Amino acid sequence: ANTEVVYMLSIARQSQGDIAEATSLMIKASEMEPDNANVFHALGTLYMAAHAIEDARSAYLKALQCDPFHVDSHNGVAYVELVAGNYTAVERAANLALTEDPRNVQALVYLGTAKLEQDDNTKAVSYLQEAHKEDPAHTSAQMQLGRAFLASSNASFAMQCFQNVIRENANSGIAWEYMGTAQYASGYLKEASESFRQAITLGRSQPDTLKKLAEIESALGNADQAEEILQAANTEAALSGANTAIVQAELLIAKGNPGGALALLEKFQGPKYEGVIVVKARAHELLRQHAEALDCLEPVISSGKASDEAQYAYARLLAKSGREQEADHLIDGLLEQEHPPMFARVFRGLQLCRIDDE
C-alpha cells in the first residue's frame, strides 16, 4: 500500500472512533514517508486525542522539521503547550503561526487563551475579539471570549458569547456548563441549575461540574438534592480516571506494549469498570494469555449486565480457547437482538466461511 492509502485508512479509523488503530496506521504512514509534514501533523493530532502529550509534541516538531512554515503544526505545538500549561511556549508557537498567517484565527485563539490562563484578561479579550472579528462563526473563539469576559467580571457579555455558541450547537455540553457558570455569577440561580443539568445530560458529568451544581442547589435551598449530587460526584471521579486510563492503555497497545497497558489499568478492579476490563482482556490476548483474558471478562459476563462489546470479546476468546459451543451461544444471543451488532454478524459469517472451506 502507498502512503496515501494508509493515511486515508487511518483517517477513516479515526472517524469511526478507533484511535488505537488509527494511530498505528499513521505511525506506519510516517515510516513510509518520513519527510511528509502533513502525516506527522495528523499523527500529533491522534496522539493528542489519546492524551499522549509528549508523543504529540514530538510528532508536531517532526512535522516542522519537514516544513518549518507548516502553520497547522505551529498551532499543534501551541495546543500541546496549552494543555501542558506552558503558556510562554504557547505564545511562541502561536506567534510563529501568525508570522506565516497573520490572520490565522486558531493561532489568535491560542494566544488569547494563553493570556487568559495567565490572568492577563485585557490582552486575552483583545486577541479573542480579533479572532472573533476574523471569523464570527468560530466556536472556540466565542467560547474563550466568553471565558475572558467572565474572568473580567463581565458575566452579561459572557452569557451572550455562550448563548451564541449554544445557538450554533445546542448539544455542546461545555457551552451549557459555561453558560451556567455565567448565570450563577449573575445571580440567576434557577437558570444556572437548568444549564448545568443540561450540560450533564450532554456528557459533562465531571466531578467539578457536579460539585458546582450541588453548590447551586444548596444556594437554592435544595439540601437533599445537593447531597445526592455530591455523592454522584465522588462516584464519577473514579470513573473519569478509568476513562482516561483506557485511552492511554489503547495507545500503548497500538504502540506494541500490551504489558504496559495492563500495568496502567491494574488499579481498576471490579465489574463497574467494564471498559477497562475489555481493554485488559485484549492486552492479555495480544500476549497470548487467553486464560487470563477469559478470567478478566468472567465477572462482567456473570453479572448479566455485560455490553455487546464485552460479550463479543468473551465469545471470541472462548472460540480461540476451543470452547466453540459456549462462543456460539453468546453470538446467538447477540444475533437475536432486533438490531444485531455488526461484529456479531461478521463473526458468524467467518465461522460459516470456515465450515465451507472444510
Q: Per-residue pLDDT tens for 184-237?
A: 999 999 999 999 999 988 888 787 888 889 899 989 998 888 888 888 777 666
Residue 193 to residue 181: CA distance in whole angstroms? 9
Task: Give the position of cell 492503555.
Answer: 249
Task: Give the position of cell 502512503.
Answer: 3
Q: How confident is the model at residue 246 (pLDDT cuts 50, 70, 90)?
A: confident
* pLDDT for residue 351: 66
**In Å, how far from its chain's centre is CA 170?**
19
Residue 238 predicted with pLDDT over 60:
no
* pLDDT for residue 226: 86
Our separate counts of H helices and E strands in the chain read 20, 0
Residue 65 to residue 243: CA distance in whole angstroms? 34
Q: How confident is the model at residue 69 (pLDDT cuts 50, 70, 90)?
A: very high
Grid coordinates standing for 295? 478470567
Tell me if the pTM is above 0.85. Answer: no
CA-CA distances (angstroms) from residue 226 to 176, 201, 210, 240, 353?
19, 17, 9, 20, 57
Angle at 11 between CA 102 and CA 2, to 5 degrees: 105
Q: How confident is the model at residue 276 (pLDDT cuts 50, 70, 90)?
A: confident
* pLDDT for residue 73: 97
Q: Per-residue pLDDT tens for 15-28?
A: 887 888 889 999 99
Q: What is the mean pLDDT of the chain?
A: 89
Angle at 74 between CA 71 and CA 75, to 5 degrees: 90
- Average confidence (pLDDT) over 242-252: 78
Residue 214, classed as helix, strand or coil, is: helix
* pLDDT for residue 322: 87
* pLDDT for residue 63: 97
Burial (0-12, 13-18, 19+ Cβ within 10 Å), 40: buried
* pLDDT for residue 61: 97
**In Å, how far from its chain's centre is CA 99?**
31
List % helix, strand, coil for the chain (3-state, nearest 5).
80, 0, 20
Residue 212 to residue 236: CA distance in whole angstroms? 14
53 against 238, higher pLDDT: 53
238 against 145, higher pLDDT: 145
Q: Per-residue pLDDT tens for 83-122?
A: 989 999 999 999 999 999 999 999 999 999 999 999 999 9
Return the HEC string of the chain.
CCHHHHHHHHHHHHHCCCHHHHHHHHHHHHHHCCCCHHHHHHHHHHHHHCCCHHHHHHHHHHHHHHCCCCHHHHHHHHHHHHHHCCHHHHHHHHHHHHHHCCCCHHHHHHHHHHHHHCCCHHHHHHHHHHHHHHCCCCHHHHHHHHHHHHHCCCHHHHHHHHHHHHHHCCCCHHHHHHHHHHHHHCCCHHHHHHHHHHHHHCCCCCHHHHHHHHHHHHHCCCHHHHHHHHHHHHHHHHHHHHHHHHHHHHHHHHCCCHHHHHHHHCCCCCHHHHHHHHHHHHHHHHCCCHHHHHHHHHHHHHCCCCCHHHHHHHHHHHHHCCCHHHHHHHHHHHHCCCCCCHHHHHHHHHHHHHHHHC
Residue 287 predicted with pLDDT over 60:
yes
- Average confidence (pLDDT) over 324-352: 81
Highest mean pLDDT among 11-25, 55-69, 245-259: 55-69
* pLDDT for residue 300: 87
- Average confidence (pLDDT) over 283-309: 88
* pLDDT for residue 120: 96
Q: Are 214 and 226 in contact (CB under 8 A)?
A: yes
Residue 209 to residue 214: CA distance in whole angstroms? 9
Q: How confident is the model at residue 1 (pLDDT cuts 50, 70, 90)?
A: low
Residue 314 to residue 153: CA distance in whole angstroms? 54
The share of the chain scoring above pLDDT 90, in percent, equals: 53
Q: How confident is the model at residue 353 (pLDDT cuts 50, 70, 90)?
A: low
Q: Per-residue pLDDT tens for 116-162?
A: 999 999 999 999 999 999 999 999 999 999 999 999 999 999 999 99
Q: Are 327 and 315 in contact (CB under 8 A)?
A: yes
